[in-house]
Amino acid sequence: MEDFKATLHTIVEGLEKLGKDAPAEDAEVYNCPLCRDTGYVLRGDRAWPCVCRSSSLLREKKAAAGLTARLQMMDFDSFDLHCYPDYLKNDDGKSYRDIASEAMQNARSLADSCAAGKTGRGLLLMGKVGCGKTHLAAATANRVLDQGGEALFLVVPEFLDQLRFSYRRENEGLDEAEIISRTYNVPLLVLDDLGAHNYSDWVCNKLFTIINHRYNRNLPSVITTNLDLRDLEDKIGDRSTSRIVEMCRISNILVPEGQDHRLGTLV
Q: Where do contacts with Zn ion occur on this chain (CB under 5 A)? A: 32, 34-35, 50, 52
User: What 3-state DSSP class applies to 175?
Assistant: coil
Q: How far is the CB of 4 from Zn ion (least distance, A)?
A: 18
Q: How far is the CB of 17 from Zn ion (least distance, A)?
A: 15
Q: What single string gives the DSSP state of each residue in 124-161? A: EEE-STTSSHHHHHHHHHHHHHHTT--EEEEEHHHHHH
User: Which lies closer to Zn ion via its Cβ, residue 34 or residue 99?
Assistant: 34
Q: How far is the CB of 11 from Zn ion (least distance, A)?
A: 11
What secondary structure letter does DSSP report for 39?
S
Task: Say if residues 127 and 228 touch (Cβ distance below 8 Å).
Answer: no
Q: How far is the CB of 52 from Zn ion (least distance, A)?
A: 3
AA identity, residue 224: T
User: Which lies closer to Zn ion via its Cβ, residue 40 or residue 76?
Assistant: 40
AA identity, residue 41: V
Task: Say if residues 105 and 98 touch (Cβ distance below 8 Å).
Answer: no
The CA angle 201-196-126, to the nearest 5 degrees, is 115
Q: How far is the CB of 228 from Zn ion (least distance, A)?
A: 50
Helix and strand totals (H; E) in the chain = 11, 7
User: Which lies closer to Zn ion via its Cβ, residue 35 or residue 244?
Assistant: 35
User: Which lies closer to Zn ion via its Cβ, residue 27 or residue 245?
Assistant: 27
User: Which lies closer to Zn ion via its Cβ, residue 37 or residue 231?
Assistant: 37
Report the sign of the C-alpha dihedral through residues 135, 53, 151, 118, in that order.
Answer: negative
Rg (alpha carbons) of the chain, rounded to whole number: 22
Q: How far is the CB of 72 from Zn ion (least distance, A)?
A: 21
User: Which lies closer to Zn ion via its Cβ, residue 2 or residue 25?
Assistant: 25
